Structure 1
Amino acid sequence: MTGRENRAAVLTELPGPLSRKLLAEQAANESSARTYPRNVPIAIAGGSGSYLEDLDGNRFLDFLCGAGVLALGHSHPGQVAAAHRQLDVSTHLLDFPTEAKQEFTRRLLSLLPGDMGERSRVHFCGPTGADAVDAAIKLCKTYTGRGDVIAFHGGFHGSTQSTIAITGLRSSKEHLVNLLPGASFFPYSSCFRCPLALKPESCEINCAQYLANVLDDPNGGVRKPAAVILELVQGEGGVVPARLEFVQQLREITRRLDIPLVIDEVQSGCGRTGTWYSFEQYGIEPDVVVSSKAIGGGHPASVIIYNERMDGWKPGAHTGTFRGNQLAFAAGAELMRVVAEEGLLENVREVGGFLREGLLELQRRHPFLGDVRGLGLMLGVEVVPVNGWTAAQLADRLRRASLERGLLFELAGRDDVVVRFLPALNLSRAEAAEALEIFGAAVTETAKECERSPGTDSPGAASEGTKP
């Protein structure tokens, strides 16, 4: 990174000449499943804090942050120092106890609300969130002796063959013949686009009632499952927070029927929503919590945290070579120290609220910004069609116009029509104001383009499938 003032600055066309060279090499060497560089065409030189720099010297305010992995931004000095210290000790030690691992575990359990940590066990999984989801389902099957799983429309739980089976995105599974059997999908409380065509003011949380009716009905066709799994804020599904009453009724239903409730906090966890885990804001205690992405402090790690009554696994029942990533334990413990000791959650709530208000102000002035939603620093803006332009066209133009001004983010939701912001949790108010300035300029440019002529283009960048 250069010593320039900490502001975004785009100096070349995108992609610049050096980025173009590496992007061409990548296209020649890597699989066609690559996603991010297709829509954000830059080759990265490095990052510091909330900023990234490409090989051509262009500087971007990063509101993607490794899809939420980099909770403290790029090259956080405390995490870098912790990883460096650990490099002198060891980097990989299977599931042997180490000081780094025990410090990580102690801090992880201490961040759970109330006395939940005293009644919980931790299992270290492979390096990805999908590995942890797979372990959570396996644990629930072992505990209950049942085999089916209930998931929700719009949910995303991974890209492995087992986790795709409980993921809502149909395009990722249509070409696969055999998947994990026994998955059933139910409506999620997405009030902006209610799957039951109801309005919040007149709804009686019918989505939760529908689930209860099916499970209670001897002719409902769905067997009592081993688990119910959901995200409380759907990430890839379009940054959709679940309605409070929906979650609380779902917890009551699963408790009454003795069905383990698995909360997937892979993207929403580790302080992202303003509490360490999003379930704290819903007044519930899950049976199993899935955590990954930011938990390793920028290094691959995933865990499940579950009620000790479910700990019926025999030795070796669920293993994984890379479940002992010592760099992740050291850097992850540093993340948890910063959260606990430096007021990071308060910053997430305060700066997240500032960002949200700025986005709401833009929404009031521009009709193609249909909905602003999210919790903390997990925010989304859903784009809707206007003047003959499809939502996909408009969202793609917003992404491109923002990138050309120095703001990097990606799209989410059905047809990639939701602008998704996942900035660093230590984002400053000044950086948030800069992001609003850049995004506001991109919105204004897009609005003028809509006014000049009806939309006639192809619907933006073709969807590459869900991004992790």
Structure 2
Amino acid sequence: MTAHPADLAPDSALDPFASPDDAGAAVLRRQRDRESSARTYARSFPIVPVRAEGMVVEGADGRRYLDCLSGAGTLALGHNHPVVLEAIRRTLDSGAPLHVLDLATPEKDAFVEELFATLPRGLADRARIHFCGPAGTDAVEAALKLMQTATGRRGLLAFTGGYHGMTLGALAATANVAVKEPVAGIAADVTRLPYPYPYRCPFGVGGQAGARLSAAYTQRLLDDPAGGVVPPAAMIVEAVQGEGGAVPAPDSWLREMRRITAEREIPLVVDEVQTGVGRTGAFWAVEHSGIVPDVMVLSKAIGGSLPLAVIVYHEDYDGWLPGAHTGTFRGNTLAMAAGTATLRHVAREGLAGRAAEVGGRMLDRLGALRDELPVVGDVRGRGLMLGVELVDPGGEPDACGAFPAAPRTAAEVRAACLERGLIVELGGRYDSTVRLLPPLVITDEQAEAVVDRLADAVAAVTAPRLAGRLA
């Protein structure tokens, strides 16, 4: 567990307002004074990035950080990858229009060809694509509207722990109570189903038994004439919950969800906004289970670091009238060019397989921390989408042996990571899970450094408390 002192800054640099001579202090102060109180990442990371390459971000104060946030999973190839920059420069130099609404362009055509080449064959062979506003939440809205149009139904099946965006329909599907409570009338017609979560199993049994109960509950609820569920327009699910704490769904459970929905003619929507483009060790997370959804919601990494969002869906559902889901910024030429280059590079270089390999090694090393550090309750994930759930080992465990969440400890660990030159973010229940989303181009040395710095941060935060408890 080494702290890498070459990357550390003086203590004063950790306070963004402590040094008036700091090049970034004024920028941070103006942001604090002018931006809305809804800002999030800026509160956790009081830095002003001025340069970035690959996994490394440099702040205005000269400090360098290993970025394990990657734009919340957007930067599949890290910051400023050469193939992305070359695609952007080539497009700019070509004189291509940068804004074209939904008109056809060579850049769009190339993007669609490259994207369809990566899709599960059972979908790509009969798929349609719709370009949405440039954010995943708008693509979720589009998917829900499309399924309502196609089925004539209104209801939605969604899951505990799920996150699908912050616009009205997407927020209704999202499970986080804190962000939903202040907004009236958004939960109508959403039936919340239990997502398999072995460490904090909703049925109190854990493991595969919990997943089997989840599937049985879902099937019986839908078939119960007194279950209170009107036939829904769709089911929406994440193959690996991201904001929910890097919780992978068992492949067998996903196959059950596909069977249950298919037998009842309920369209299955899989949200691949964060899991796509190699993140989980397959190009798309659905490939692990072999299921073919009716709709895939795609954003983040597909734009090669620039804003882009689409849905791809089976042609049988293409019942929209012209303008049924439109938007001014659906024709982002630069994002399509950058996205094409990214998709092509990930496929050509086998970076999904690389994510599986490196992520597996990181998962093994992180798993070993459970024996060394009692505050580590659970380690999980898939590919380069990893989570370390921090707990209070002095608390009362639940029926599955899970200790109470430790959100304050997690926040302190995040800050300690930043001191050590590592950017990580939190998620999961009570924001007690440290989430790791490094770019697919992470080197072996960087992977080792990430685990070293995280382990050192956890030990530094928790050792004094443990010593006090043993005294």
TM-score range, shorter chain: over 0.9
Tell me the residue number matched to 2:19.
none
Matched, 1:136 2:151: no
Task: Give % identity.
Answer: 45
- Give matches, 1:92-241, under 5 Å: 92-179=99-186, 181-200=188-207, 202-203=209-210, 205-241=212-248
Q: Could you say what secondary structure the match of 2:125 adopts?
A: helix
Tell me the residue number matched to 1:278.
285
Deviation for aligned residue 1:454? 5.0
Aligned with residue 458 of structure 2, among 443, 448, 462: 443
2-side partners of 1:154 and 1:113: how far apart?
Answer: 26
Aligned with residue 413 of structure 1, among 428, 441, 454: 428
Q: Could you say what secondary structure the match of 2:380 adopts?
A: strand
Tell me the residue number matched to 2:350.
343
2-side partners of 1:251 and 1:23: how far apart?
Answer: 47
Q: Which moved more, 1:242-251 or 1:45-54?
A: 242-251
Gaps of 5+ in 2: 17-21, 396-403
Contact 1:120 1:307 in 2 (8 A): yes
Deviation for aligned residue 1:390? 6.1
Contact 1:126 1:320 in 2 (8 A): yes
- Give matches, 1:44-83, under 5 Å: 44-83=49-88
Tell me the residue number matched to 2:401.
none
Q: Cα deviation per residue 1:373-399 (whole Å; 9 max; x = unaligned)? A: 111000001111134796112211211
Task: Report the CA distance shift for 1:203/1:234 in structure 2 as closer, same or farther (over 3 A).
Answer: closer
Q: Cα deviation per residue 1:137-185 (whole Å; 9 max; x = unaligned)? A: 0110111011111100110010112211111001111111222631111
Aligned with residue 314 of structure 2, among 307, 315, 318: 307
Task: Report the CA distance shift for 1:234/1:33 in structure 2 as closer, same or farther (over 3 A).
Answer: same
Contact 2:130 2:311 in 1 (8 A): yes
Contact 2:211 2:253 in 1 (8 A): no
Contact 1:156 1:237 in 2 (8 A): yes
2-side partners of 1:348 and 1:314: how far apart?
Answer: 40
1-side partners of 2:405 and 2:28: how far apart?
Answer: 29
2-side partners of 1:44 and 1:164: how far apart?
Answer: 30
Task: Report the CA distance shift for 1:130/1:304 in structure 2 as closer, same or farther (over 3 A).
Answer: same
Q: Which moved more, 1:239-248 or 1:140-149?
A: 239-248
Q: Cα deviation per residue 1:396-438 (whole Å; 9 max; x = unaligned)? A: 1211111101010100011110000011111111110111121
Deviation for aligned residue 1:446? 2.3
Tell me the residue number matched to 1:429.
444
2-side partners of 1:397 and 1:130: how far apart?
Answer: 30
Task: Report the CA distance shift for 1:215/1:96 in structure 2 as closer, same or farther (over 3 A).
Answer: same
Contact 1:151 1:185 in 2 (8 A): yes
For these two proteins, the number of residue pairs brought into alignment is 450
2-side partners of 1:159 and 1:452: how far apart?
Answer: 42
Deviation for aligned residue 1:45? 1.1
Q: Cα deviation per residue 1:308-331 (whole Å; 9 max; x = unaligned)? A: 111111222211111110011000
Deviation for aligned residue 1:69? 0.9
Deviation for aligned residue 1:201? 5.6
Aligned with residue 20 of structure 1, among 15, 25, 49: 25
Aligned with residue 362 of structure 1, among 347, 361, 369: 369
Tell me the residue number matched to 1:293.
300
1-side partners of 2:149 and 2:394: how far apart?
Answer: 54
Deviation for aligned residue 1:361? 1.6
2-side partners of 1:50 and 1:435: how far apart?
Answer: 11
2-side partners of 1:428 and 1:144: how far apart?
Answer: 47
Contact 1:8 1:61 in 2 (8 A): no
Deviation for aligned residue 1:448? 1.5
Q: Could you say what secondary structure the match of 2:173 adopts?
A: coil
Q: Could you say what secondary structure the match of 1:236 adopts?
A: coil
Q: Which moved more, 1:329-338 or 1:359-368?
A: 359-368
Contact 1:15 1:42 in 2 (8 A): no
Q: Which moved more, 1:313-322 or 1:113-122?
A: 113-122
Tell me the residue number matched to 2:89.
84
Tell me the residue number matched to 1:400.
415
1-side partners of 2:380 and 2:434: how far apart?
Answer: 10
Contact 1:10 1:60 in 2 (8 A): no
Deviation for aligned residue 1:91? 1.1
Deviation for aligned residue 1:115? 4.5
Contact 1:387 1:450 in 2 (8 A): no
Normalising by structure 2, what TM-score? 0.92
Tell me the residue number matched to 2:398.
none
Contact 1:8 1:60 in 2 (8 A): no
Q: Which moved more, 1:112-121 or 1:304-313?
A: 112-121
Aligned with residue 327 of structure 1, among 331, 334, 343: 334
Amino acid at match of 2:381: G
2-side partners of 1:416 and 1:229: how far apart?
Answer: 23
Tell me the residue number matched to 1:32.
37
Q: Could you say what secondary structure the match of 1:192 adopts?
A: helix
Gaps of 5+ in 1: 1-5, 456-468
